[in-house]
Amino acid sequence: MTSTQTIEVENKNGGPYTKHEQEKRRSQVYKLYFEKGHSAIKISEELGVNRNTVNSDIRILLSQASSHLGQDKVAGAILRQTERLEIQRKRIFDFLDPKDFKKTITAEKILLDIDGKIASLLSRIDKDSKIEKFSATEEISEEEISKFVRDTVLSIGLPCQVSKSNILEKIISSQKCDLEHAENVFDKMISLGLDLKRTYGSSSSYYLNEFALMRGYLTEEDDEMMHHEREKELKKEERRIAKIEKKYSIKYGPDKTKWSPSILSEMEDEMYG
């Protein structure tokens, strides 16, 4: 397909599909996935098709390729594509110029993209150079992770300590996706270093704000702003508690040792209940 050709988008978010519609959709998925290297989620958005349908199409297309060519030939084709990417990687690496910061950053971004494609290709081949399995594992972009984490941290504020189940719930809520996609997003976060910001104990949780700072999803200005907001909240809470304590001191006297347990309990319930 030339650069001037476009793919006609079929806006359909679910079946049933006619045989003609199914073939047309799979042809579009083939071009976007194999020729352009788009992820399943990007294909889903571009075609307006349910993500699970796209994943199913990719599994079928991979299976057909294996059946038609044989697993060894499919694996060989993937290895040849990997070699081409390695050659491209070397050319870009030679392009790096420590004295030119802008040029270096551009080259490093391209290298990162190439490394990602190579890793994706190699993941399809096992130690015997066979196709390990034909599955359409979603490729989650860091851009998707960055937006989700940043939005979540800024909405929660400090302290931003959340459990895995909380993270999954927030992914599903914000992206209106299924649990499988949410798990894929979470796994991608783990691979990017989320586990380094984990707490351990009876129930582990994660410091999303520290993860966001580590990955550069939040700026130092963002962090300062959140700490400033947190300090304001703490001072407000201190004033609220002091006001309640003053109210009880006026009513029952300043000496708390003379208060009955029920009065102390009543005051604590009002403070922290």
Q: What is the pLDDT confidence band of residue 148, given thresholds at 50, 70 and 90?
A: very high
The pLDDT of residue 130 is 41
153 has a pLDDT exceeding 80: yes
The pLDDT of residue 171 is 92
Reported as type and span, the H/E element at residue 65 is helix 51-69
Which of these CATH numbers, 1.10.10, 1.25.40, 3.30.2420, 1.10.150, describes 142-215?
1.10.10
The pLDDT of residue 96 is 60
78 has a pLDDT exceeding 60: no
The pLDDT of residue 55 is 83
125 forms beta bridges with 131
Reported as a single tens digit per residue, the pLDDT across 9-45 is 444 554 567 888 888 898 888 888 776 777 778 888 8
Q: What is the mean pLDDT of residues 38-57?
A: 84
71 has a pLDDT exceeding 80: no
67 has a pLDDT exceeding 70: no
79 has a pLDDT exceeding 90: no
Q: CA 173 to CA 157: how far, in whole Å?
A: 18
Reported as a single tens digit per residue, the pLDDT across 106-145 is 665 665 665 555 555 555 444 333 434 434 445 788 888 9
52 has a pLDDT exceeding 90: no
Long-range contacts: 161-164, Cβ < 8 Å, 24+? 161/199, 161/205, 161/206, 161/207, 161/208, 162/205, 162/206, 162/208, 163/203, 163/204, 163/205, 163/206, 164/204, 164/205, 164/206
- Comparison of pLDDT for 50 and 126, the residue scoring more: 50
The pLDDT of residue 51 is 82
Domain boundaries, the chain: 19-122, 142-215, 220-272
Residue 17 and residue 25 in contact, taking contact as beta carbons nearer than 8 Å: yes
The pLDDT of residue 89 is 58
For the chain, percent of residues with pLDDT exceeding 90: 15
The SS3 assignment for 6 reads: coil
Q: CA 110 to CA 88: how far, in whole Å?
A: 10
Q: What is the mean pLDDT of residues 203-224?
A: 87
Q: CA 256 to CA 30: how far, in whole Å?
A: 76
Residue 41 and residue 138 in contact, taking contact as beta carbons nearer than 8 Å: yes
Q: What is the mean pLDDT of residues 237-262?
A: 90
Q: CA 72 to CA 194: how far, in whole Å?
A: 37
Lowest mean pLDDT among 14-18, 163-167, 213-217: 14-18
157 has a pLDDT exceeding 60: yes
